[in-house]
């Protein structure tokens, strides 16, 4: 029987959408990251605000998963999750994280390193109230990262909390809320032909001044 290959080895695509030079890069990495996220939204990319969050696992191995950024400004990147999930436990043990945005049609990515800390109760409450009711119920029903015996177990908890909060506002569970990643490093990557990509890295000094370095592709 002949072996069928997937085509991974021969997959090739030359990047040519744009360029990234120091002359067209902002001196403010927050402003530049915000613009690139807006560009992804204008491009019509589904989940343009999705990024890969990397934490230090309790077993010593890095852990990664895709989450959605729900706020971005000079204070950092805001996302929400279950504090009792694996990522919540990992963040409680080690605040250092990595974040990676990738938009294939724009041939761009942003890599960020920083510190993730819980936001205030008020900020978590405010965002929770903005969520669809079904998502609010899900925050109560899902024992995120815990093993289930079957999907029926989860569906039964959804029914339980739907009944419990029928006719009233769904409160935010204490185990659910936000984190803000405060960056100390940004890398902006723009794909270029022949794999000669543009890479600009922003580092912050002890006086909170940002400076740029160009890296080899």
Q: Which amino acids are annotated catalytic?
A: 195
Residue 55 to residue 87: CA distance in whole angstroms: 7
Residue 186 to residue 203: CA distance in whole angstroms: 7
Residue 69 to residue 54: CA distance in whole angstroms: 14
- Residues with Cβ within 8 Å of residue 200, at least 6 apart in sequence: 20, 22, 25, 187, 188, 212, 213, 214, 215
Residue 197 to residue 176: CA distance in whole angstroms: 40
For residue 124, the SS3 value is helix
What are residue 79's DSSP bridge partners?
179
Residue 37 to residue 62: CA distance in whole angstroms: 25
């Amino acid at each position: 029987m002949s072996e069928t290959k997937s085509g991974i080895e021969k997959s090739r695509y030359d990047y040519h959408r744009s360029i990234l030079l120091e002359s067209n890069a902002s001196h403010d990495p927050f402003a530049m990251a915000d613009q690139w996220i807006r560009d992804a939204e204008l491009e019509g990319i589904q989940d343009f605000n999705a990024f890969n969050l990397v934490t230090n696992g309790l077993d010593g191995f890095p852990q990664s998963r895709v989450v959605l950024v729900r706020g971005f400004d000079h204070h950092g990147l805001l996302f929400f999750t279950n504090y009792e999930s694996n990522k919540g436990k990992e963040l409680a043990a080690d605040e250092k994280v990595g974040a990676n945005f990738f938009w294939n049609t724009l041939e761009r990515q942003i890599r960020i390193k920083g510190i993730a800390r819980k936001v205030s109760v008020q900020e978590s409450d405010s965002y929770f109230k903005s969520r669809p009711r079904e998502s609010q119920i899900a925050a109560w029903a899902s024992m995120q990262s815990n093993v289930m015996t079957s999907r029926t177990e989860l569906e039964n908890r959804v029914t339980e909390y739907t009944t419990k909060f029928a006719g009233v506002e769904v409160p935010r569970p204490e185990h659910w809320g936000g984190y803000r990643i405060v960056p100390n490093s940004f890398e902006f990557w723009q794909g270029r032909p022949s794999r000669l990509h543009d890479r600009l890295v922003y580092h912050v000094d002890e006086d909170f001044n940002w400076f740029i370095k160009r890296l080899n592709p």
